[in-house]
Chains A and B, each alone.
Chain A
Amino acid sequence: MSVLEVVVRSVAVLAAFLVFPLLVGQTEHKVMAHMQGRLGPMYAGGFHGWAQLVADGVKFAQKEDITPRAADRTIFRIAPFVALVPYLLAMAALPLQRGVVAVDVPASALLVLAATSVGALGTLMAGWASANKYALLGALRSAAQLVSYELPLVLAVASACLAAGTLRLSGVVEAWSPWWLLWQLPGAIVFLVAALAELQRPPFDMPIADAELVMGPWTEYTGLRFAFFLLAEYAGIVVFSLLFAVLYLGGWRGPLDDHIGWVWTLLKGFVIAILVIWFRVAWPRMREDQLQRMAWLFLLPLALIQLGLTGIGVVMTR
């Protein structure tokens, strides 16, 4: 791989990383508004407020960057990047089409899972370093939630990889066949729910819970650093939606997949992203104990059952 190719691939991933989250964010603005009988942004950019998030970004860039006096300065300042950068890494490993992936590593499923777990560490660092009780409470809730939901998530991904016989994401897509939709259905449900919890989005936004914890770990952040946390959240939606599409919906598989495979991947991922937005609008926040109960008494057994089911299926068919 030449230097030029590395640069081109990096720039492409960075561009995707900056564009797709904004696309999801704008979709959320509009879809949520219409689900609540509103119009959403209508002014910025002229046509149906398409530039609203750009305007928001400009606003964030203009704001003062405040670090609280009692805060742990270094940790406080690097926390947004710790939250943001892992999703960039994860996005680089997601395959869009046969042979189209920024970094094709042998165990890309493992890489993506590991990277997204590091992203959660940023939230924890932010809460701990803020020297604010709400931030700390939010960070602790976040830690408890992430520990609980990491396990079902990993088991669900493991089941898909076991069915494909490879840890490489492009290999999973190659091995995928339509009857996976039924065979891997419990795993897909577990993955979707656990991904929602991992993203800390409603109905799993207990750590942020703005009605009781101000803004959780993000309470003390302003300006661009706060914007980075928001960007990380939406980048997380993109990563998990694409990962869901790749693992359970067959990624680029579809008509003419040699030419427009990437369109299928993005389309499937976009549908999942809309589902994530829809869940946020429709469902109320879960209580802390309900969260834990759901993770340990519902998702984990379901993920284990799926793993067993996959194992039986693999043994029977080979």
Chain B
Amino acid sequence: MNDKAKSSNKGILPGILKGLATTAKTAVKPVHTHEYPDVAPDLPPRSRGVIALLEENCTSCMLCARECPDWCIYIDSHKETIPASTEGGRERQRNVLDDFSIDFSLCMYCGICIEVCPFDALFWSPQFEYAETDIRDLLHDKDRLGGWMESVPPPPALDERSAEPAEVAAANKPARAPREPSAAREPREPRAPREPRTPREPRGPRAAEGPEA
């Protein structure tokens, strides 16, 4: 028997007792198990469960569909003409959403669509219980996506001493003072004519290769 084995044999009794103590301590501590189907898990508000659609905010701009890495968002819309609100005014056109579907069998939950939406029409919801037995049922249409809106939690509070949200900062900004008319009207001094640029030397093949290699 070499020295190493001897030293490990020496410590065998404390190790054995330590094992007993550890298991006994764990046995009297409360367990960490969440009994999931009976007790809903308390997920953090930023959990990526499902994507919810707030249809009123959507302008069918297609940014989400174009940014989606999986191409799993399908949007159909048509234009409607709104008659002028005042006499002799111009008729306006607006997009009306016909179909907005997300195929969750393709979605990889990257959240780019939510990030990219300029109108706050898409939100993360922590709801995750929408497994299906048929993969085709994972294509959620706009009604089903709209239904998820109820489960969207309010946004978490800002951290202490963080910057004001952009909306609040914009609202609090003092109104612009109207410009003085005289200053605006004053004609500028004419600029000095620019000297023509000397044309660059054409790049040699070696220089062009440089950064690539």
Contact = CB atoms under 8 A, between A and B. Distances in A.
Give the secondary structure class of B's interface.
helix
Nearest to B20: A282
Nearest to A284: B19
Contacts of A31: 27
Contacts of A37: 26, 29, 31-33
Contact of B33 (A35, A38, A279): A38
Contacts of A8: none
B19 A38 contact: no
Given A31-B27, A278-B24, A39 B33 contact: yes
Name the residue among B16, B22, B23 with the largest chain A CB count within 10 angstroms.
B23
A36 B19 CA distance: 12
B33 A282 contact: no
A283 B31 CA distance: 21
Interface residues of B, number: 14
Contact of A36 (B24, B26, B35): B26
Contact of B22 (A34, A42, A282): A282
A36 B20 CA distance: 12
B26 A283 contact: no
Instruction: Label chain A's interface by main secondary structure.
Output: helix
Interface string A138-167: 000000000000000000000000000000
A110 interface: no
A281 interface: yes
Interface residues of A, number: 14
A38 B30 CA distance: 9
Contacts of B35: 39, 42
A112 to B, nearest CB: 28
B31 A278 contact: no
A42 B35 CA distance: 9
Interface in B155-193: none
B26 A35 contact: yes
A36 B87 CA distance: 78
Contacts of A282: 16, 19-20, 22-23
A281 B32 CA distance: 18
Contacts of B31: 33-34, 37-39
27 contacts: A33-B31, A34-B27, A34-B31, A35-B23, A35-B24, A35-B26, A35-B27, A36-B23, A36-B26, A37-B26, A37-B29, A37-B31, A37-B32, A38-B31, A39-B31, A39-B33, A39-B35, A42-B35, A278-B23, A278-B24, A279-B20, A282-B16, A282-B19, A282-B20, A282-B22, A282-B23, A283-B16
Question: Which 5 A/B pairs are nearest by Cβ-Cβ distance?
Answer: A282-B19, A35-B23, A35-B27, A34-B27, A282-B23
Interface of A: 31, 33-39, 42, 278-279, 281-283
Given A39-B31, A282-B16, A283-B16, 11 more contacts: A33-B31, A34-B26, A35-B23, A35-B26, A35-B27, A36-B26, A37-B33, A38-B33, A39-B35, A42-B35, A279-B20
